[in-house]
Amino acid sequence: MIQILLFGPVADLAGTRKLALGYLPGMTLGDALAQFETRYPQAAAAISFTAINETQVRDRQHLLADRDTLALMAGFSGG
């Protein structure tokens, strides 16, 4: 299982802050993003950054591991 965390504008557009995605061996970040985009196209359009287990990852070919936590995030606006 992949846990997906949503924050700020992405969470608002998706209408939720947390999702779960079934894990399949060989699954990549790009695969997870594609599934998310199918279900939440507006929220997906707001994503600027992705993090796996609290570390930013940009490579869509990055292999996910079972029980990874994937954060889908809009551009930051703190401060």
Please say whether the beta carbons of 54 and 21 come within 8 A.
Answer: no
15 binds another protein (CB under 8 A): no
Shortest Å distance, C-beta 60 to another protein: 19
Q: Which of 2, 14, 70, 74 touches another protein (CB under 8 A)?
A: 74
Shortest Å distance, C-beta 5 to another protein: 7
73 binds another protein (CB under 8 A): yes
Please say whether the beta carbons of 57 and 50 come within 8 A.
Answer: yes
Q: Which of 30, 31, 49, 57 touches another protein (CB under 8 A)?
A: 49
Residues near 28 by beta carbon (within 8 Å), at least 6 away in sequence: 60, 61, 62, 63, 64
Q: Tell me how crowded residue 34 is: count the other CB atoms within 10 A of its CB.
A: 12
Give the interface with another protein as residue ranges (CB under 8 A). 5, 7-9, 11-12, 49, 51, 54, 71, 73-79
